[in-house]
Amino acid sequence: MESGGGERMRELLEKLTLEEKIRLLSAENVWETPEIERVGIPSLKVTDGPNGARGGSFFDGTTAACFPSCVSLAATFNRNLSYQVGKALGEEAISKGAYLLLGPTVCCHRSPLGGRNFEAFSEDPYLSGALASEYVKGLQQENRVACALKHFLANEQDTRRFSVNEMISERALREIYLKPFEIVAKEADPWSFMSSYPKINGQHVDAQSKFLIDILRNEWKYDGMVMSDWGATSSIESVRCGLDMEMPGPPRQRTLEATQAALKTGQIKESDIDARVLATLKLLEKVGKFDDRKTTPEEQALDRPEHRSLIRKAGSEGLVLLKNEGQILPIDPKKTKKITLLGPLAKYAAAHGGGSASLNCHYKVTPYDAFTERLGKDVEITHSKGAHIFRVYADLEAGCVNSRGNPGFLAEYFMNLQPCDLPFRTEEFPRGNFTTLMNTHVIGCKTVRFSTTYRPPVSGQHYLSFSGLGPSKLYINGTLVAEQRESIKDAMGFFLGVQEEVRTQYEFDSSKEYSIVTETHPSPYSNAELYLMEDQCSTHIGLIEQSEMEQDVLSEAIDLAREADLAIVFVGNTTQWETEGQDLESMTLPANGSQDRLVAAIVAANPNIIVVNTTGVPVELPWLDRVPAFIQAWYAGQETGNAILDVLLGETCPSGKLPVSWPKKYEHTGCFEHFGLDSFDSRIVEYVEGVFVGYRWFDKMWGGEKEVRFPFGYGLSYTQFELSDVKLLGKISENVDDGVKVIVKVKNIGSIAGAETVQVYVEPPAERSIDRPMKTLVGFAKAELQAGEAQEVEINFRKDGAAYWDDVQSRWMVSEGAHAVLIATSSDPKDVKVRLETVVEVDFAFGP
């Protein structure tokens, strides 16, 4: 059945004309829903994104707090922490005048090459759903700010995500890809969902009633609103199939004319429109828009001390200690007089990944910042980059002044192909990068002139790059120095900072000034397979000084390592390499093996080495056997440098656990050659691994060549724990109120305070007729304990934890027989067998 609503909203719906209702089927602009002033329907502003409220500007907007990415949050296995982050994000959204936050992302990590994995929680649907539920509760209950649970459904890859057809079995959909959404829908009552771009088994999500009506509304009893991802509304039939609002506006599929025509032909009914509009009205009511809750008149940058503390705590708690031979960690500053900080990420704050999760942070703390501020007085700190990992030259910024006398560039917008008249609009930008995408003030422009006066800080034959979304030219002192005759091949990649560039060198004299001007025209077609990219202008100008580019940073790093008591190497990805819009090409660190060569060279020069990796995905580690300590730091938010140092010094005892399996090689994964760039020549991607995703796959591979390097749920501590005295209460039956309670004693048997995560898995009875995973996570609990302290933790699960999807009967089933209940601290098959095990019997097979 369709969603209901309060009498107040039904009465309001009846007052609307048909044209007004059609207006409410799509957004007014990029970030706002329509206002119907005649009947008092207010507008609602939305904002990206899952780890920070960016506000109305995609780039260089009002500063905002940057929280740890969702994969980092998942590594904490801490429900309360996820709730607190959700609550804080609600406060942040309000400061940007928004009452709907576009997040969280709960799509499962199918492949370690997922360009957007960092934005989602985990490979495991239960962990994803459990932590996302707390995030949503904190966001909605404390602040009445709606979430947009995304991306419903199967947005696991970014390669051709706007057109790809994903072939997924019903069982895999039910057990893996729908499951986290189902958990959040039932536990947290999310006020909105966001539909996804890809086709599933031949049709877009919004072009088939199966997902948005049959499953979401009828089976799960969801009573909220569904909006499209930006540009993901596929047709006018989506009104009938359950999509409430087309985003962004103005509409493309749901214009007044198209909707009226669809009514006449019977493609949709007015009752369909009423159902869609009612869902939007109910959302406005839930966030208080009818209760004089006004939009903040201007976006505010509120740098709250309590948010700083929360970000730092969540970031450090999400760090995962994966190796610590000889107890090289934690660092004792009293015994360490000289530390060298090496690697391309030592002076880079890996606060977030690229795309919708990026934002203009209030500030960002690099590892180098944290070390020098806290240890610089007592410990000698040296630094070398050690490796270049440029994918795109850094934006030209230093030494630039626009014609208004302000730092940066000036963009002038013209309606003609030649900028001969006065521009109809001008805007300032802080650096050599601009775009018209999502800028409602410059719709229809035909040319953009982008200019600055550049006084080089140093002389040299500097390395210069240039690119445009559409045909573009670059002039220096009036002379054409670079030209791009065609539109860029990948518009979305360009927009997200991964440009294909024209590169050259230019002789600059620091005593002179240079006029730098670009002229760029719109891309005439959507070379991103997304209509939003049509008729957009963008330009990027990058520059790297000659001395920086040609410096032998590897030799410098080796020399510093030889002289130091301790070498800490910071490796990983930047937003140029890990971003929405592009999947990763391989599991190797960028670029061209330079970071792997750096680590190998440093460990040869100084065996006292710690490697800190900041990525949102597992990477290959060819040097791991020679390195005594290894930490996975994810993207830990604006306090990333402090969060890392807190763990390195032992001020925070590491307690993070891997929310993903860590393969040795990409070839060992279940989706190898059936994901992203592997399938680039095909618009069809088959989910060949079925339900065997992540640890479910590696359980099958255990003991062989494809055995996982680090298992899901794994993570070390500076202390030790003991599990004992397991108790099993309750039962699994058809009764909805029945369930199993697992009680286990956890004791800290080490010498310092720490936290341990107890994980409960269910191993089903052997099935001849169906190939089931060896085990499935059904619950977890985190215990924080002082040295010597013991505590009982309780973990509950119900029949859905033991259920599987029966394709023949098209229903959930629970098998008859003994279900092993495995209590462990990781998914490692050896670990679950040496920890604790008990059994729950199911007397007969049944369907929940």
Give the 3-state DSSP-derived string for 363-411, with helices as H, strands as E and coil as C. Answer: CCCCHHHHHHHHHCCCCEEEEECCCCCCCCCCECCCCEECCCCCECEEE
> In the predicted model, what is the mean pLDDT of residues 411-430?
91
Cβ–Cβ under 8 Å, residues 315 and 636: yes
Give the tens place of pLDDT for each residue, 293-315: 766 667 899 999 999 999 999 99
Segment 10-37 mean pLDDT: 97
CA distance 334 to 364: 28
- Look up the pTM and report it: 0.96
* Paired strand residues for 105: 120, 150
Which whole number is the average pLDDT over 484-500?
Answer: 84
Q: How confident is the model at residue 61 (pLDDT cuts 50, 70, 90)?
A: confident
The CA-atom distances, in angstroms, between 733 and each of 779, 804, 811, 812, 846 are 18, 14, 16, 13, 8
Distance in angstroms (rounded) separating the CA atoms of residues 829 and 797: 21
pLDDT level of residue 845 (50, 70, 90 thresholds):
low
User: Is the pLDDT at 127 greater than 80, yes or no?
Assistant: yes
Q: How many CB atoms lie within 10 A of CB 708?
A: 25
pLDDT bucket at 533, cuts 50 / 70 / 90: confident
Other residues' Cβ atoms within 10 Å of the Cβ of residue 511: 8
With 60 as the cut, is the pLDDT of residue 5 above it? Answer: no
Domain borders along the chain are: 7-286, 400-549, 721-842
Average confidence (pLDDT) over 139-143: 90
More confident residue, 36 or 677: 36
For the chain, how far is it from start to end, CA to CA, in angstroms? 21
Quick one: CA dihedral 660, 663, 669, 671, positive or negative?
positive
- Neighbouring CB atoms inside 10 A of 105's CB total 29
On the question of pLDDT at 65 being above 50, the answer is yes
Q: Which of 215, 221, 227 is nearest to 174 (CA)?
A: 215
Nearest of 532, 543, 550, 440 to residue 491 by alpha carbon: 532
Beta strands at 538-544 and 320-324: parallel, antiparallel or unpaired: unpaired
Mean pLDDT of 366-376: 97
Percentages (nearest 5) of helix, strand, coil residues in the chain: 25, 25, 50
Nearest to 136 by CA among 192, 52, 216: 192
Q: What is residue 216's DSSP assignment?
A: I
Mean pLDDT of 502-516: 97
State the pLDDT at residue 844.
63
**586 Cβ neighbours under 8 A, 6+ residues apart:** 113, 620, 666
Strand partners for 781:
758
pLDDT of residue 4: 44
Q: What is the mean pLDDT of residues 273-278?
A: 98
Determine the pLDDT at residue 848: 63
Indicate the average pLDDT of the chain.
94
Closest-CA residue to 644 (of 355, 377, 321, 415): 321
DSSP string of 146-203?
A: EE-EEEETT----TTTTT-EEE--HHHIIIIISHHHHHHHHHH--SEEEE-SSEETTE
Show which residues are catalytic.
Answer: 229
Write out the two tokens for 239.
């009104």
Q: What is the mean pLDDT of residues 474-494?
A: 91
| Predicted local confidence at residue 835, as pLDDT | 67
Show the tokens assigned to 601: 């060279």
Asked if the 721-842 domain carries CATH number 2.60.40.10, the reply is: yes
Residues forming a β-bridge with 433:
540
Q: How far is CA 397 from CA 63, 537, 541, in A?
A: 18, 20, 9
CA–CA gap between residue 634 and residue 616 (Å, rounded): 5
pLDDT value of position 295:
66
One fold for both 400-549 and 721-842? no
Phi, psi of 187 (to 5 degrees): -95, -30
Is the pLDDT at 3 greater than 60, yes or no? no
Q: What is the dihedral of CA 155, 161, 166, 169, to 10 degrees?
A: 0
pLDDT for res 646:
98
Cα distances from 21 to residues 34, 38, 296, in angstroms, run 10, 12, 26
**CB proximity list for 50: less than 8 A, separation 6 or greater:** 69, 70, 101, 102, 103, 104, 105, 119, 356, 357
400-549 domain in CATH 2.60.120.260?
A: yes
What's the rounded Cα separation, in Å, for the pair 260 and 18?
A: 9
Contact between 776 and 126 (Cβ < 8 Å):
yes
d(CA 574, CA 551): 21
Rounded mean pLDDT, 15-42 = 97
- Average pLDDT (473-498) is 90
**Of all residues in the chain, what percent carry a pLDDT higher than 90?**
87
Upper half-sphere CA count for residue 123 (Cβ side, 13 Å): 31
pLDDT per residue as tens digits for the range 672-719? 999 987 655 568 999 999 999 999 999 999 999 999 999 999 999 999
Residue 42 pLDDT: 96
Question: Residue 530's closest CA among 162, 157, 67?
Answer: 162
Question: What is the dihedral angle through the alpha carbons of 51, 55, 60, 62, rounded to the nearest 10 degrees?
Answer: -100
pLDDT given at position 833: 62
Q: How far is CA 144 from CA 103, 280, 586, 623, in A?
A: 14, 15, 41, 49
pLDDT value of position 491: 85
- Which range among 231-240, 533-542, 755-764 shows the weakest confidence by mean pLDDT? 533-542
Q: How many residues does the chain have?
A: 848
pLDDT at 834 over 60: no
User: CA 147, 658, 374: angle at the middle one, nearest 5?
Assistant: 90
Q: Give how far Cα 295 sits from Cα of 38, 98, 361, 529, 620, Å.
A: 19, 7, 22, 34, 47
pLDDT of residue 303: 96
Rounded distance, CA 485 to CA 504, Å?
16
Tell me which DSSP letter residue 765 carries.
P
Instruction: Name the band, by pLDDT with cuts 50, 70 and 90, for residue 492.
Output: confident
The per-residue pLDDT for range 325-355, each reduced to its tens digit, is: 999 999 999 999 999 999 999 999 999 999 9
pLDDT at 679: 59
Burial label, 334 (beta-carbon count in 10 A; 0-12, 13-18, 19+): exposed
Q: Is the pLDDT of residue 218 over 70?
A: yes
- Note the pLDDT of residue 59: 79
Beta-strand relationship, 425-429 and 460-468? unpaired
For 7-286, which CATH superfamily applies?
Answer: Glycoside hydrolase, family 3, N-terminal domain (3.20.20.300)
Tell me what pLDDT residue 696 has.
98
Q: What is the 3-state secondary structure (H, E, C) of 659-692?
A: CCCECCCHHHCCCCCCCHHHHCCCCEEECCCCCC
pLDDT exceeds cutoff 50 at 2 = no
- Three-class SS state of 461: strand
Contacts of 768 (CB under 8 A, 6+ apart): none
φ, ψ of residue 492 to 5 degrees: the values are: -65, -40
pLDDT band with cut points at 50, 70 and 90 for residue 846: low
In the numeric block, which tokens belong to residue 409?
């560039």
Asked if residues 393 and 502 have their Cβ atoms less than 8 Å apart, the reply is no
Q: Check pLDDT > 90 for residue 747.
A: yes
pLDDT one-digit tens code per residue, 78-111: 999 999 999 999 999 999 999 999 999 999 999 9
Q: Is the pLDDT at 498 greater than 70, yes or no?
A: yes
CA dist 60 and 433 (Å) reads: 10
Q: Which of 310, 214, 226 is nearest to 642 (CA)?
A: 310
Contact by Cβ (8 Å): 500, 133: no
